[in-house]
Amino acid sequence: MKYTAPLAHMRYLLNDVFEAGKHWAEMPAFAAIDSNTVDAILEEGAKLCSEVIAPLNRSGDEEGAQIHNGIVTTPKGFPDAYRKIAEGGWVGLAGDPAYGGQGLPKMLTVLFEEMLYSANNSFTLYVALTSGAALAIHAHASDELKQTYLPNMYSGKWAGAMCMTEPHAGSDLGIMKTKAEPQADDSYRITGTKIFITGGDHDLTENIVHLVLARLPDAPAGPKGISLFLVPKILVNTDGSLGARNAVTASALEHKMGIKGSSTCVMNFDGAVGYMVGKPHQGLAAMFTMMNYERLSIGIQGIGCGEMSYQNAVRYAKDRLQGRAAHGAANPQGVADPIIHHADIRRLLLTQRAWNEASRAFAVYVGLQLDLANYHPDHDTTVKAAQRVALLTPVAKAFFTDKGFDACVLGQQVLGGHGYIRDNGQEQLVRDARIAQIYEGTNGIQAQDLLKRKVLANGGRWMRDFILEMEQDTLLASPVFASEEDAVLKACSTLRELTLWLVKQDKRDADLCSSAACDYLHIVGHTIYAWLWLKMIATNPADTDRHVLGRFYFGRLLPQIHALDAAVRSGPDLVMDLPVDKF
């Protein structure tokens, strides 16, 4: 499949809708970034993804990652492409310049991440896991560990991996068994087995830095007894050179539905040398620095898949001749009209695009909040932005990936039978996109995190504050879009009233949160998309094409919140009343 980065929309979001330059000027870390730099990054990133990464997508899926005699190899072309990514400084795009990173703002790097995922999901995971591991090391490791590992990770010489899941412990990390035995030299010996480890072993880099959750001998039971350890595949000598092979090996690769070019490993740690990251028994909090990065990144995977699906479906719809348009022949010289002239096909295409463009805008907004939280000099601004990030990360991960998968299925429907066979690449998109709703915390867990920890835990205050921000911003929109403004305000009101209802009901039924969470998250997602669609069309009222897209979202997609609201209010009994033995 051919990929063309949607650069015009990306620039529009950065320069016009969110006025990135104005925000960067307030943050000394980004004050030197100008429009020429941004354009160069977007242009070169788009070229790299379309010309180098995307051509490996189909072949990478067909060959897949392989393991022979304990040696893991990636598909043909992956090592060379990774070398080009590394040489261009793309792995450390947002990394700290003190350790060799590029130090670019997140609201810019999310767009490059989308390009990567659009081009090739499997390949991109190696880059994303390295960036996430580096983030956790930067936030929690000792200066010595940071000096030793970060420069080589940012440069792309070494990769990163996250080792959490065990055969008996998936989302419930409190019951994990991997052990860490302290040594006289302040190192630890790590013993245990981890499964589903993305990029656990491969041939792209000379070393792989594993972040491993394990228990100390005196650890208390449950999640409060977990510590985090850095375990390199190859031990590092005191002078920074590589030494002996550590006792960490890949014993098998998982046989998967999709992302087959990504090496998803069973990893064995047999007394491997490791070094503690952060404090004893606080490893889960440290790992969540990486997890939250990965959750946004995997959300962006959903956007990338949705964008690629739309591009593939549009190309097909413009070429495929079937039937005559209801309003009269659009191709009178041909035997039939392109299917893009049929209203139902347009419904499928417009739904994909409406989701994709709103998702991209939301990703840039979350990226902005991350930049403000980490780099803005004003304390109150950083506190508010950090709350926004905490509130919106589960929404971004779950809603992006739900709508991204749906977009892939809709694209498959546009292609019909040709979307079900291998030749056109659409069925691979459906397979690759599906995992994004599952890993880094299933979307059901994301929804419960949102409702239980980010809404109910503070009496709905964080959500009310965010709703107020959307309402105040909406009231500044152009009067040309009065009906859209009214729709956003009504959606905000629906969300506010439902949030208040859930806060009041929370203490009355233990199953309420779990039964309501997914529908509630989708109401939040749709409301945010409506707000952002208004921003996008009101920023440039002369853009009549985007106004058409916005009207489609408001008329055909936003009304879903009313059915979701009714479902939440129906209560948990409809979910819980059927006895277990009747299932």
Q: Which of 440, 469, 471, 484 is catalytic?
A: 440
What is the rounded CA–CA span in Å between residue 515 and residue 576? 9
Confidence of residue 284 (pLDDT cuts 50, 70, 90): confident
Averaged pLDDT for residues 450-460: 96
pLDDT tens column, 315-344: 999 999 999 999 999 999 999 999 999 999
Averaged pLDDT for residues 184-190: 97
**Which tokens in the block code for residue 122?**
């499997």
Q: What pLDDT was estimated at residue 176?
A: 86
Averaged pLDDT for residues 397-401: 98
What is the rounded CA–CA span in Å between residue 454 and residue 451? 6
Instruction: Name the residue among 500, 289, 468, 530 with its Cα closest to residue 390.
Output: 289
pLDDT tens column, 468-516: 999 999 998 888 999 999 999 999 999 999 999 999 998 778 899 999 9
Yes or no: say if 534 and 550 are a contact pair by the CB < 8 Å rule: yes
DSSP helix/strand/coil, 266: strand
Instruction: Name the residue among 144, 33, 48, 145 with its Cα closest to residue 94.
Output: 33
pLDDT higher than threshold 80 for residue 289? no
Give residues with Cβ within 8 angstroms of 433, minimum separation 6: 121, 258, 301, 302, 305, 306, 309, 401, 404, 405, 408
Question: Cα–Cα distances in Å, from 180 out to 191, 229, 465?
Answer: 7, 9, 43
Angle at CA of residue 151, ends 51 and 117, nearest 5°:
30
What b-and-e string marks burial along 153-191, b requiring 16 or more CB atoms within 10 Å of the CB? bbbbebbbbbbbbbeebbeebeebebbbeeeeeebbbbb
Averaged pLDDT for residues 425-452: 96
Domain extents in the chain: 7-153, 158-281, 442-574
pLDDT higher than threshold 70 for residue 181? yes
Q: Is CATH 2.40.110.20 correct for 158-281?
A: yes
Q: Taking the CB of residue 241, how many other CB atoms lie within 10 A of it?
A: 8
pLDDT higher than threshold 80 for residue 292? no
What is the pairing mode between strands 234-236 and 264-277? unpaired
Q: What pLDDT was estimated at residue 294?
A: 83
Averaged pLDDT for residues 555-579: 97
pLDDT higher than threshold 70 for residue 171? no
| pLDDT, mean over the chain | 96
What is the pairing mode between strands 207-214 and 158-163? parallel
pLDDT higher than threshold 80 for residue 429? yes
Q: What is the DSSP letter of 460?
A: T
Averaged pLDDT for residues 546-571: 97
Q: What is the DSSP letter of 54?
A: G
What is the pairing mode between strands 188-198 and 179-182? antiparallel
What is the rounded CA–CA span in Å between residue 80 and residue 376? 38
SS (HEC) of 155-205: CCCEEEEEECCECCECCCHHHCCCEEEECCCCCEEEEEEEEEEECCCCCCC
pLDDT tens column, 228-283: 999 999 999 999 999 999 999 999 999 999 999 999 999 999 999 999 999 999 99
Give residues with Cβ within 8 angstroms of 401, minimum separation 6: 298, 299, 301, 302, 433, 436, 437, 443
E strand or H helix at 276: strand 264-277
CATH class of 7-153: mainly alpha
Q: Which of 122-136, 163-177, 190-204, 317-331 has the lowest mean pLDDT?
A: 163-177
pLDDT higher than threshold 70 for residue 210? yes
Yes or no: say if 192 and 179 are a contact pair by the CB < 8 Å rule: yes
pLDDT tens column, 146-160: 999 999 999 999 999
Confidence of residue 544 (pLDDT cuts 50, 70, 90): very high
Backbone angles phi, psi at 159, to 5 degrees: -110, 175
Averaged pLDDT for residues 280-302: 87
Q: What does pTM read for this prediction?
A: 0.96
pLDDT higher than threshold 70 for residue 173? no
**Which tokens in the block code for residue 499?**
């949030």
Any catalytic annotation for residue 87? no
pLDDT tens column, 44-63: 999 999 999 999 999 999 99
What is the rounded CA–CA span in Å between residue 265 and residue 196? 6
What is the rounded CA–CA span in Å between residue 103 and residue 92? 8
Residue written as token pair 């393991």: 67
pLDDT > 70: percent of the chain: 99
What is the rounded CA–CA span in Å between residue 394 and residue 157? 31
